[in-house]
A and B are shown apart, each in its own frame.
Chain A
Amino acid sequence: DSGVTQTPKHLITATGQRVTLRCSPRSGDLSVYWYQQSLDQGLQFLIQYYNGEERAKGNILERFSAQQFPDLHSELNLSSLELGDSALYFCASSVQPQGKRWYEQFFGPGTRLTVL
């Protein structure tokens, strides 16, 4: 158990719909990262938040958005869903002390999204 929690575990929805995935980081971790894992694309970095602010952006579609709340939990919003959005979505968290750019990330169990 990494200490990172994600809900829901599974999500089945239809094309065109909107869903929200939730992540609670490890206690004390200020950084939250979102990843998409699909069979053909591997593990793709989507976005990072640090203490409520966007820190880094990867291959995140405009239909997707995220935010980190004052209690440090984060939500990933996926809208206008397409079949190709079906994937495993991981959240990860890390400590981010000053002076260093990257730390080991602790991954949550993931949310499996199926778009029908």
Chain B
Amino acid sequence: GQQVMQIPQYQHVQEGEDFTTYCNSSTTLSNIQWYKQRPGGHPVFLIQLVKSGEVKKQKRLTFQFGEAKKNSSLHITATQTTDVGTYFCAGLGYSGGGADGLTFGKGTHLIIQP
């Protein structure tokens, strides 16, 4: 079945440093979504990427979808303490028929040291 790998599992950064998490799928994805989960909270949708090579920005966050639609990345510039949490990518694969569920990566835990 489809697998979505996410690295790194943990990332410690100093406040103000940049952060990047990478997501790789074993199969081509029709789209990819990114979610953030704060400690003790629930996942919150950040963005969805659909087109090959797509790049989207949300303030200090930059999301990319690879040309082959098998990988994606999230980059945060100048991290702040409010960025703490776990970032998940979730991919929707192509199917010969019927509906698919999202396959989530295991997430990257972002820990920020002030």
A contact residues vs B (CB 8 Å cutoff):
2, 33, 35, 41-45, 47-48, 55-58, 90, 92, 101-102, 104-110
Contact = CB atoms under 8 A, between A and B. Distances in A.
B108 to A, nearest CB: 11
Interface residues of B, number: 22
Contacts of B92: 101-102
B39 interface: no
B15 to A, nearest CB: 27
B85 interface: no
B48 A104 contact: yes
Interface in B55-104: 88, 90, 92, 98-104
Given A107-B43, A107-B44, A57 B101 contact: yes
A48 B33 contact: no
Taking each of B30, B42, B43, which has the highest tally of chain A beta carbons within 10 Å of its own beta carbon? Answer: B42
Given A101-B30, A101-B92, A102-B31, A45 B42 contact: no
A90 B43 CA distance: 9
B51 interface: no
What 8 pairs across the A-B complex have the smallest Cβ distances? A45-B101, A42-B106, A56-B99, A104-B45, A58-B101, A107-B42, A43-B104, A56-B101
Contact of B98 (A56, A105, A107): A56
A56 to B, nearest CB: 4
B23 to A, nearest CB: 12
Contacts of B104: 35, 42-45
Given A43-B106, A45-B101, A105-B45, 10 more contacts: A2-B44, A42-B106, A44-B104, A45-B104, A48-B99, A101-B99, A102-B33, A102-B48, A107-B42, A108-B42
Contacts of B101: 33, 45, 47-48, 56-58
A43 B99 contact: no
A102 B106 CA distance: 20
Contact of A43 (B43, B44, B98): B43
Contacts of B44: 2, 107
A110 B38 CA distance: 13
